[in-house]
Chain A
Amino acid sequence: MTGTAAESTPVPAVRVPRRRGTELALIVVAVLLSVYGYCEVGLARDGAVPPGAAGYGAGLGVLALLAHVAVRLRAPYADPLLLPIAVLLNGLGLVLIYRLDLETPGDRAAPAQLIWSTVGVALFIAVVLLLRDHRLLCRYAYLSVVTALVLMIVPIFFPAVNGARIWIRIGGFSFQPGEFAKILLAVFFAGYLAANRTALAYSGRTVWRLTRMQLPTGRVLGPIVAIWLLSVGVLVLERDLGTSLLFFGLFVILLYVATGRTGWIAVGLLLAAVGAFAVGSLEPHVHSRVQDWLHPFASIDAGRGPGQLAQSLFAFAAGGMLGTGLGLGHSVLIGFAAKSDFILATAGEELGLTGLSAIFLLYALLVERGYRAGLALRDPFGRLLAIGLASIVALQVFVIAGGVMGLIPLTGMAMPFLAQGGSSVVTNWIIVALLIRVSDSARAQPPPVPGDPEDGRR
């Protein structure tokens, strides 16, 4: 970089390319890919392009274009990859759900998912338009955590659905408040850690003199114990292993990034291990999940036929290298939750290892762009927020993809953007909106001026 521009102008010293054209082109590609997938399902099943193809393409295209216009207006420097990846994943998710709907004529989920996607994009646009600076969120850190706690506690008073108390049902309308809580917690963690990281990093006592490992003092240990209790509480009261794992993983990552203290990680992992072991052996719901993971074919040997995880593994295996082709797999054998928790099995069977790897790489790219924004930003809150949001996606993908593929015990979680579930898709759109906002700040900020304190912008 060369500092040729006048220092008095508010615009960056060097004109950073905005790359909105790139974003638009990629969005077009994402929409076309999704429409192609939609047509492919129809062609494979009935030998004809499904009648809804044009409407589906137009709907997705309009949503994507509106989001693009919002970004163009209010976040012109945003990372050009974020929105196209979100559009492609959401479009692909709709295709997979539509495809599974064909197997369950009495239970159509794609129309509802399209509505939720619309709501998600609307919220995306709202966030991009209304939230002019991500640092505003820092002020609401404590409000966020209170709201998050309320959202997580409320479902305890509602009846359990399939063993997990994570739903609020009012009339025919149901949603998972835990999904929204993720964002609120990320905001809180980022705000809390940005404010207290010095205290957390440089206090405590050395336990082993020969190592650099330091245990934090009791006073600052309070919050981490609180979060740990929260995670275990979620686990025990709501029987939601996945969310618990996600919260805890998120907190540990952010704590590490904020303080660089491996002592925190050690304490965190120790507590997590103790908690996981205790709950895994005492709580029957969680215990059975662990048993399923260790012995996915136990139910076959017992003569009760394959369980969900076995069916999921069969589906992935049937896909092989190249997959059966969209519409030609039999992942519906998984039965319950084939469109939500197990949606990835359909992708694995019909798109094969090739398609599945592509999907993983899309997520990886999304996470990488989030981390990149985090690296580029100079305000600690923004950095932690970007890392936190990106880590939510990374952890969630790992927990659910690892679960349905037998890598780790299965926990009920939604594959971001792909899985059926309104709360999830809306939440993910908000996450992408926030990433757009921080990446815009990161790329639009002026180059670092030597000697200038941390935050140089404005």
Chain B
Amino acid sequence: MTKYIRRAAALCALLLLALLVNATRVQVVDSKAYDSNPANRRKDIARYDRARGDILVGGRAVTGSRDTGEQLRHERTYTNGPLYAPVTGFASQVYGTTFLEHAEDALLAGTDPMLAPLPLWNDLARTRSPGGKVVTTVEPAAQRAAFAGLGGRKGAVAALDPATGKVLALVSSPSYDPERLAGTGSAVTGAWAALNADPDKPMLNRALSRTYPPGSTFKVVTAAAALDAGRITDLDAPTRSPDPYTLPGTSTSLANEVDGCSDASLRHAFQWSCNTVFAKLGVDTGQDALADTAKRFGFDGPGPKVPSPAARSTFDTATDDAQLALSAIGQYDTRATPLQMAMVAAAVAGGGSVKAPHLVDRTTSADDDIVATTHTRTLQQAMNPRTAAQLRELMTDVVEKGTGTNAAIDGVTVGGKTGTAQHGVGNAGTPYAWFIAWARKPADPEPSVAVAVVVEDAAADRSDISGGGTAAPIAKAVMEAVLGA
């Protein structure tokens, strides 16, 4: 019997061995596959186990965290959610993250290895650092001015510091409260469905994610290309432009909303936004030169990351002359985000230099130790400094005595450009009123703010003046807020 008992014992040993081998398989060999299975909630639980780090605007947190005690424990809260939604985005248990919440997720959630007290510490100790903080470049006063200026109308505002590329305001309207999407449950899914079904698209970040035809504000780019290419040497010389202008190779006639554009000088044409002059100037400057300048302003490249990714602005390069003429006045397939047009204004204000726009000044640990600082970075020289100086002169004229007088600020040098873009079949869509501008305090050598404003329903006034009438006051308010700060 002893022999058989030993054999039975060997069977038991075999069973033990099978269990140990299988345990090693599940817990060590295949564990990564199990851990990363999307149905495994452990990652989510760990993620929401700690309070998320905050996003700061003007030294104050505009986000918070609420401990619900549920499985996905901490839910995001927002102070002034609609105002800062285009900056923060949302952080939802169900729908993930967007914008800064997404771009800085690792830091906010505490998984960024830079937050660990020692390298690999969190891996070894199986802990997670407290979420870090994201300090934004946004000026609260400018943000509020832009939001109030839009007043619920569809539109967007982007404001930059031309010298550094800091984003001073980033507003989209109508907006929404991202807190509605934080957490789980039917309230969140209901809010998501309602926001997505809303015809006004409140979750669309019009400042970053939406491109518009830039209309006459694109004339800044066309003028820069013409001046850089030497097509125009004297701002006050007549340009030998007919009014109306027949688009090359077609019988389509392009007219102006204002008088006095026939054979006007560049100064006059810029001041009064003569389509005929700029359409012809675009064709005369040539597609390559125009496309090259547009590219250096940031068109046709990958959309900038601020670090939230902005949509790509386009200047269509595969065009015939008639299309080129329309592209040169910001129509046809030319499209730009409000951020891109703010970069155009900032480039003029900054002597032609295009700075990388950025929304994050620095990131810190929960204890305010610096993790990373965003430095000023020059992307391109969009034009000669001399050209920039000439454009500043032209833009100043627009505000002082042209289409943009609504943006004038007492005692401050303001340069701007209006625009009204038509769109839709037969231009039947609601026009977009544009205004891009910069402002310089008298004591300062350089402008300290550049702004782009777009308003979607420009009161049905299709004259080019509407940019000055609807958008310019908002730009003015934003610039005043920045200069006053």
Contact = CB atoms under 8 A, between A and B. Distances in A.
Contact of B35 (A258, A318, A383, A395): A318
Nearest to A357: B20
Contacts of A330: 41-42, 45
A321 B27 contact: yes
A321 B35 CA distance: 13
Contact of B23 (A357, A367, A368, A374): A357
Interface size range on A against B? 35 or more
B8 A402 contact: no
B19 interface: yes
Interface in A377-391: 380, 383, 387, 390-391
Interface string A207-228: 0000000000000000000000
Contacts of A60: none
A229 B6 CA distance: 29
A314 B44 CA distance: 13
A337 interface: no
A456 interface: no
Most buried by A among B4, B6, B37: B4
Given A310-B39, A320-B27, A348-B23, A383 B5 contact: yes
Contact of A360 (B1, B3, B19): B19
B12 interface: yes
B1 A258 contact: yes
Contact of A374 (B5, B13, B30, B126): B5
Contacts of B26: 313, 316-317, 348, 405-406
B8 A297 contact: no
B8 A320 contact: no
Nearest to B46: A330
A260 B4 contact: yes
Contacts of B19: 360, 397-398, 401-402, 405, 407
A394 interface: yes
B308 to A, nearest CB: 32
B27 A352 contact: yes
Nearest to A352: B27
Interface residues of B, number: 37
A181 to B, nearest CB: 21
B2 A375 contact: yes
B94 interface: no
B27 A353 contact: yes
A256 interface: yes
A238 B318 CA distance: 77
Nearest to B24: A353
B22 A406 contact: yes
A368 B31 contact: no
Nearest to B126: A324
A330 B73 CA distance: 13
Interface in B34-50: 34-35, 37-42, 45
A310 to B, nearest CB: 7
A416 to B, nearest CB: 14
B39 A394 contact: no
A300 B19 CA distance: 26
A276 interface: no
B11 A316 contact: no
Contacts of B12: 364, 367, 371, 390-391, 394
A313 B35 CA distance: 9
Contacts of B42: 314, 318, 330, 333
A438 to B, nearest CB: 13
A180 to B, nearest CB: 23
Nearest to B16: A364
Q: Binding site of B, secondary structure by majority: helix, strand, loop or mixed?
A: helix
Contacts of A305: 39
A375 B24 contact: no
A325 interface: yes
Interface in B352-391: none
A353 B23 contact: yes
A333 B8 contact: no
Most buried by A among B3, B37, B39, B126: B39
A319 interface: yes
A347 B6 CA distance: 31
B459 interface: no
Contacts of A436: none
B23 A356 contact: yes
B39 A297 contact: yes
B13 to A, nearest CB: 8
Contacts of A352: 27
Contacts of A320: 27-28, 31
B35 A300 contact: no
B20 A398 contact: no
A50 interface: no
Contacts of B28: 320-321, 353
Contact of A405 (B6, B22, B39, B40): B22
A256 B4 contact: yes
A263 B141 CA distance: 91
A394 B6 CA distance: 14
Most buried by B among A257, A333, A387, A390: A257
A401 B23 CA distance: 9
A311 B252 CA distance: 69
Interface string B54-92: 000000000000000000000000000000000000000
Interface string A57-100: 00000000000000000000000000000000000000000000
A306 interface: yes
Contact of A306 (B16, B31, B39): B39
Given A325-B126, A407-B19, A387 B27 contact: no
A122 interface: no
Contacts of B27: 316-317, 319-321, 348, 352-353, 356
A375 B23 CA distance: 30
A371 B39 CA distance: 43
A398 B18 contact: yes
B315 to A, nearest CB: 45
A404 to B, nearest CB: 10
Contacts of A123: none
A317 B31 contact: yes
8 contacts: A258-B1, A306-B39, A360-B19, A364-B13, A394-B12, A398-B16, A402-B22, A406-B26
Interface of B: 1-9, 11-13, 15-16, 18-20, 22-24, 26-28, 30-35, 37-42, 45, 126
Given A316-B27, A321-B27, 9 more contacts: A257-B4, A260-B3, A305-B39, A314-B42, A374-B5, A375-B6, A380-B1, A391-B8, A402-B19
Interface of A: 253, 256-258, 260, 297, 300, 305-306, 310, 313-314, 316-321, 324-325, 328, 330, 333, 348, 352-353, 356-357, 360-361, 363-364, 367-368, 371, 374-375, 380, 383, 387, 390-391, 394-395, 397-398, 401-402, 405-407
Return the 10 tightest CB-CB contacts between A and B, nearest first: A317-B34, A317-B31, A353-B27, A300-B39, A306-B39, A398-B15, A394-B12, A407-B22, A314-B40, A257-B4
